[in-house]
Structure 1
Amino acid sequence: MLTRPKIPEIDIVRAIAIIAVVIIHGTANATLLPVGTGSQAFFFILNRACLFTVPVFIWISGVVLFYNYYDRWDPSTSFAFWTKRLRRILIPYLLWSVFYYVYNQYMFHGKVTLNAWYLFKLVLSGNASYHLYYMLIIVQFYILFPFVITAVRKFPLLNKALIPLGICLQAAAYSVNHWVHPLPEYSSLFTSYSALFAFGAFTGIHYAAMSTWIARYRSWILSAMVLGGFAFVGMLLLHQYGWIAVENTWFELALLLYCMTAALIFVQLGQNTLHKDSSFSKALTALGAASFGIYLAHPALLTLWDRLKPAKERILLYDLHTVTSFVIGLLGTWLLVRLYAHIMKKGKVSVK
């Protein structure tokens, strides 16, 4: 059975993406400062510039799944795949959904009321906390993966058409939601990210060739990333000030270009970082490896820290609080994840 070598730069990409996640959540309140202030503009730009993060994580999932399974996939192993993958994500999802259901009630209301039906609806919609919808998207892609990879291996034309098919599916879902009728929980549907997943799948299948292609056209890809990023953030900023009125589709197109090119640039950045074999590269690799735990736990620390939030009128103090939110959200949660891993490892050694 063929097994491809690991792609360590993916952990660097994960590290960049999880840093962006914490920036988004850590600066969310600061984007609500009075419009026109320098602080609001700075944190707004930083917050929106990091919105590549969920699409990039979806892209990573496509890369890893198709890179690891494409050459050795057997449709008869579909049930084993579902069991293994869904167990890894569904159990944490359910546990953390219950945790945030209780935790957020206590933190925001000072009391906890248990309503099993309401909790069930929160779990189904991914709304037990503001960040958990991502896990529902991943579950959907895990469910679909055996069907997609089987079809792609059986029909070579699908392999070549993965990216346009993913874009068309996402465009169709967007068109229905935007122009025909709103789709329930649209942002949590796999169709909202099918372009990035398909792009990741194609990259995973042809990873060596894609790496060479990225290196050859790096300047063009970087230019497209900068163009997409500036267009997306710039339109949002100008729209916030009421200086332009832009149809939402232009935001979606700019964001798609930004995210697809950012994923490729981050891959090469990861490769270059690992090539130096420095303490920084090792730290980023470790951060990327811990990204799932950081993703799950960081909102709890941010909510706790926000209890000390100063008044918005005290701009400098509020800015300091916002910067500290990022530090606590990232490094504080990373420390907790490492502590948990150490305890679990020690427990396994003791059992043996």
Structure 2
Amino acid sequence: MERRAKLTEIDIVRGIAILGVLMVHSTSEATLNMKSSGFYGIYNFLNIFSKIGTTSFILLSSFVLFYNYFPQPFAFAQLKKFYRNRLLYIIVPYLAFSAFFFLLRWEVNHHPWSLTEMWPDFLHRIMTGQAYTHLYFVFISIQLYLLFPVLLYLFKRFKWLAASAIFVGVAIQWAFFLYNREYWQVANRGSWSLSYFGHYFLGAWLGIYFDRIRSWLIIAKESATGGKIVSWCALWAVWLGAGLGYVWLFYQNRVHGTMFKNALYDGLWDAYTMLTPIVLIQIAFLLRGKMKSPWVAALRQLGIASFGVYLFHPVVLLVYRQYPLHGGPGYMQHLWYAGGFACALLLSWLVVYALSRLTRVSWVLFGSVPAQLGASASESKRSAGRTVVSETASG
């Protein structure tokens, strides 16, 4: 059986998702320091509405895995290659950046350089995804990669389970939420894969049945029907309503100290972050015909480099925040926060791109990103060559 066609639109979704991550991290200090500003509502909106990165990446990872592997017989050779690639391109970068950030934070906090103190702490942090604030995402991904072959077998073996994957995933996720609140009280709940089973199982369902639902996902005038239009509007309305409701909860809590039940936060977060990747996929397909646009092409390239940008960008923000503004007109403070976002995006992207193209060992830091960037560059050259041939022939 032939492999399914590669969906370049997924790179666009990744590009939007990493912009969300950068926006959340670059506005985090503003949500603490700008409460007296008349623009605080905007900072709160940007910070909360952009909380789509981790969950979108988890769903996309699941989608791509099941999209590629579900139609194929999953033999031992494939299993071996699967884990080899994850070891080299996920775990190695995770360990490299965990070590870097651990040592950096150790030095910044002026701890004594004692191996007997450092080693146990480091082991604990890498085993819990806590070496630095953003590395929990990679820790979650490793957990889900370990589960993937088992879930793939179960979904292939029991068709009813694959068909009801969304409901099963949400049920497991919420059972974890409730039992954790009442009994387990696991620290750092967000660092454990059970918190994202709804997103992961939704991604699996989309990957398995993509050929059947593709015509519904793509918003196109020529294929629009009354039923589709109603369902599209309903999807976007629920998505937007859940997102704005989630923003409102945080605004009320941050500004007025209003307390809400955890279930309300979890419910709106779950609805918003599970629907966001579907909305983004629809947006990506709308942009598909504009791949020659510099902005769309750049967004796709950012998506290809997103794993490296995700791992590296806290370095940029850490350095940038060592030079805060002191005084000056109020608008300068807004420009300073905007500059943090711009630097985190552009400098991280530049570093990832430069190291990926200039060194052969950059995979140690960025996983498969260097190979993907190289493949994308080759693809662009081939496309340019075909364009020149076509123009010559038509001339």
Q: Please, what TM-score do these two structures have when normalized by structure 1?
A: 0.93
* Partner in structure 2 of residue 163 of structure 1: 166
| Distance in 2 separating the partners of 1:242 and 1:270 | 38
Please list the CA deviations of residues 148-194 of structure 1 after superposition, one character each: whole Å capped at 9, or x if unmatched.
01110011111111000000010000001222231143211110000
Q: Which has the higher Rg, Structure 1 or Structure 2?
A: 2
| Distance in 2 separating the partners of 1:180 and 1:307 | 42
User: Do 2:44 and 2:250's aligned partners in 1 also have CA atoms closer than 8 Å?
Assistant: no
Once the 2 structures are TM-superposed, how far is the Cα of residue 344 of structure 1 from its aligned partner? Answer: 2.5
- Identical residues among aligned pairs (%): 27
Give the counterpart of 1:242 among 256, 265, 269: 256
| Distance in 2 separating the partners of 1:187 and 1:256 | 13
1:124 aligns with 2:119: no
SS of the residue corresponding to residue 322 of structure 2 reads: helix
Q: Within 5 Å, which residues of 2 pair with 1:11-30?
A: 11-30=11-30
| Distance in 2 separating the partners of 1:314 and 1:42 | 19
* Partner in structure 2 of residue 9 of structure 1: 9
| Distance in 2 separating the partners of 1:313 and 1:112 | 40
Q: Within 5 Å, which residues of 2 pair with 1:1-352?
A: 1-76=1-76, 77-107=78-108, 109=110, 114=115, 115-214=118-217, 215=219, 216=228, 217-242=231-256, 244-277=258-291, 278-311=293-326, 315-344=330-359
| AA aligned opposite 2:53 | T
| AA aligned opposite 2:234 | W
| AA aligned opposite 2:273 | C
Can you give the 5+ residue segments of structure 1 that lack an aligned partner in the other structure? none
RMSD: 2.2
User: Do 1:102 and 1:112's aligned partners in 2 also have CA atoms closer than 8 Å?
Assistant: no
User: Do 2:94 and 2:138's aligned partners in 1 also have CA atoms closer than 8 Å?
Assistant: yes
Can you give the 5+ residue segments of structure 2 that lack an aligned partner in the other structure? 220-227, 363-369, 371-395
SS of the residue corresponding to residue 307 of structure 1 reads: coil
| Distance in 2 separating the partners of 1:234 and 1:133 | 26
| Distance in 2 separating the partners of 1:201 and 1:52 | 18
| Distance in 2 separating the partners of 1:110 and 1:335 | 32
| Distance in 2 separating the partners of 1:311 and 1:102 | 29
User: Do 1:63 and 1:203's aligned partners in 2 also have CA atoms closer than 8 Å?
Assistant: yes
Which stretch of structure 1 is more off in the superposition, 218-227 or 111-120? 111-120
| Distance in 2 separating the partners of 1:108 and 1:42 | 33
Once the 2 structures are TM-superposed, how far is the Cα of residue 267 of structure 1 from its aligned partner? Answer: 0.5
Once the 2 structures are TM-superposed, how far is the Cα of residue 110 of structure 1 from its aligned partner? Answer: 9.5
Please list the CA deviations of residues 34-88 of structure 1 after superposition, one character each: whole Å capped at 9, or x if unmatched.
5342243321221011112211111001100000100113253434322222321
| Distance in 2 separating the partners of 1:89 and 1:219 | 38
SS of the residue corresponding to residue 38 of structure 1 reads: coil
User: Do 1:311 and 1:318's aligned partners in 2 also have CA atoms closer than 8 Å?
Assistant: no
SS of the residue corresponding to residue 256 of structure 2 reads: coil
- Compared CA separation, residues 43 and 61, structure 1 to 2 (3 A): same
Which stretch of structure 1 is more off in the superposition, 134-143 or 236-245? 236-245
Once the 2 structures are TM-superposed, how far is the Cα of residue 321 of structure 1 from its aligned partner? Answer: 1.4
User: Do 2:21 and 2:52's aligned partners in 1 also have CA atoms closer than 8 Å?
Assistant: no
Please list the CA deviations of residues 228-263 of structure 1 after superposition, one character each: whole Å capped at 9, or x if unmatched.
101111122122233743211111111111112211
- Compared CA separation, residues 43 and 108, structure 1 to 2 (3 A): farther
| Distance in 2 separating the partners of 1:31 and 1:223 | 27
| AA aligned opposite 1:40 | Y
User: Do 2:317 and 2:344's aligned partners in 1 also have CA atoms closer than 8 Å?
Assistant: yes
| Distance in 2 separating the partners of 1:111 and 1:334 | 34
Which stretch of structure 1 is more off in the superposition, 107-116 or 224-233? 107-116
| AA aligned opposite 1:3 | R
Which stretch of structure 1 is more off in the superposition, 33-42 or 199-208? 33-42
- Compared CA separation, residues 112 and 288, structure 1 to 2 (3 A): farther
| Distance in 2 separating the partners of 1:110 and 1:184 | 24
Once the 2 structures are TM-superposed, how far is the Cα of residue 103 of structure 1 from its aligned partner? Answer: 2.2
| Distance in 2 separating the partners of 1:256 and 1:93 | 26
| AA aligned opposite 2:7 | I
